[in-house]
Structure 1
């Protein structure tokens, strides 16, 4: 590919990214189409990388690598105050067609700071009631054992037995008729909560805010290393901070210690930990 052709290809990718950015559906939480443009450029890089691998072009002729992705803006998500978390749980427990399921979802995400994908991938065989651990499978094909309180473990087991997951296997979280839930349950849950709590609708609160809430609570009281492990973030060797985390990695018993303090329940992996009565994210 000649230099002029390469420059034209670069311009075409930039123009396409701007077009995609301008045509996105405008939602209340939209951020100017940045994500759409970023995904478009990532897709173009993938296509041209395959062309390089197949020796159709050289790496120096790859126009996609010369197109910068839009700079990501800081997230508007943040941790909820304790009063806000209580309001959310109160509405979930008193409205809707399945409060038992909804309150279980909220407690699961609040205790573990897991993502929606991790909760939806949870199976009955992923429960270790003896040590109060659950196996989470999340993005990037990562897996981790996460401590949960004895109360949450009991409710997860009851849910699995009552709704068929214990007998049939497969996804643990289910509707009353035994159908596995999907992300739509989360969407309906937060829409309903927003109808009762206007601030939830206005700020576009979602399940991921619970992750922020828990991790902020853990970091403030137990430090960065434990909050990082609690989040399930994998080690990175890029940069000084990433290298340092190799030496300050928290252990599972330290995560259990933070959980015990947060929930006010002792945990099998941290049996001698004094709990903070009235704790909570």
Structure 2
């Protein structure tokens, strides 16, 4: 009979004992304990919201319609940051936060796979990014404003140069350690989104990083390199304050919600146009080929030397790992660092 109905015995047992299924309030501590540290940071606020809204409900009770209503609630209370997209990012994070809850419940046998709510909820559409490459003129205005209006102009200038040259994410900069600098080969080690890669840098940037470390008392090789003047490690809030400050003086920064990620976009756009998709993907440190599909991509991954070559042309400074030869770029496609050298 059960085979005819396509029902498993454990599903009947679970349905017969709904009182044994925990509430969200009871189950959430287990979800937090099972999550990796990075995920706890990302989803902490969203798990709190789920408990606030559904705390006394049992895991099997919400419906897809309830999830839609939760999305609207999250969208309404989403913190309005400069780069917000009408709560779209908050909705995406809520989806993944719920997915972790139900995945653990199924793995522990608390719910059957048929009771997995998120298996019936489609993934929200990703909000289209409004970012684009910054013009050399706008970048220079940003740098000049940051240096003129801040209390730590040296750090402001270094952060902007670091992210524009390396196309590193904010997390990559915050995770940079003194031991990650290789002055001989002009390489730094970046840790981003669970990946690790070597990124070529110019001698100018390498020296600026070494000088900052010495000035701010970074001596232990495993210590964070980027620090406040008083020696405290940098935080994401330091970036937010810088962009908020610049936005009060540069109209485009405020209107477009320009952030550090725009610098990454600027450099990767230039690399892709002048050195191709393979080099741009390697420069970005992407672990997967998001732009191409098919088996051909297995054979066209760019080397570290090719990335160093792109950097050499971009900065106008000789890099020890760059390939021997000459390269030309489009006359009308000038990178902000090239404009600064003119």
Give the alignment's TM-score, normalised by structure 2. Answer: 0.74
1:270 aligns to what? 322
**Which whole-Å CA distance do the structure 1 matches of 2:221 and 2:196 have between them?**
23
> Among 61, 78, 101, which residue is 1:24 paired with?
78
**Which whole-Å CA distance do the structure 1 matches of 2:199 and 2:83 have between them?**
31
For structure 1, the 5+ residue unaligned runs are none
**Which whole-Å CA distance do the structure 1 matches of 2:294 and 2:206 have between them?**
33
Q: Describe the superposition over 1:234-261 as per-residue Cα deviations: whole angstroms up to 9, x where unpaired.
A: 135x997164322110000000000000
Q: 1:98 to 1:85 in 2, by over 3 A?
A: same
1:59 aligns to what? 113
2:178·2:221 contact (CA, 8 Å) conserved in 1? no
**Which whole-Å CA distance do the structure 2 matches of 1:221 and 1:175 have between them?**
36
Matches within 5 A, 1:30-45: 30-45=84-99
Matches within 5 A, 1:98-177: 98-139=152-193, 141-167=194-220, 169-177=222-230
Q: Describe the superposition over 1:171-224 as per-residue Cα deviations: whole angstroms up to 9, x where unpaired.
A: 101122212111121112112211221111111110000000000010010000
Single out whichever of 151-160 and 30-39 deviates more from structure 2: 30-39
2:335 aligns to what? 280
- Size of the aligned set, in residue pairs, is 278
Q: Secondary structure at the match of 1:134?
A: strand
**Which whole-Å CA distance do the structure 1 matches of 2:187 and 2:135 have between them?**
27
Q: 1:166 to 1:273 in 2, by over 3 A?
A: farther
Q: 1:22 to 1:178 in 2, by over 3 A?
A: closer
Give the alignment's TM-score, normalised by structure 1. Answer: 0.90
For structure 2, the 5+ residue unaligned runs are 1-10, 19-59, 337-342
1:235·1:242 contact (CA, 8 Å) conserved in 2? no
> Among 216, 223, 229, which residue is 2:276 paired with?
223
1:93 aligns to what? 147
Q: Please identify the structure whose Cα radius of gyration is greater.
A: 2
2:238 aligns to what? 185
2:179·2:221 contact (CA, 8 Å) conserved in 1? no
Structure 1 residue 91 displacement after superposition: 1.9
2:287 aligns to what? 234
1:37·1:69 contact (CA, 8 Å) conserved in 2? no
Structure 1 residue 7 displacement after superposition: 8.9
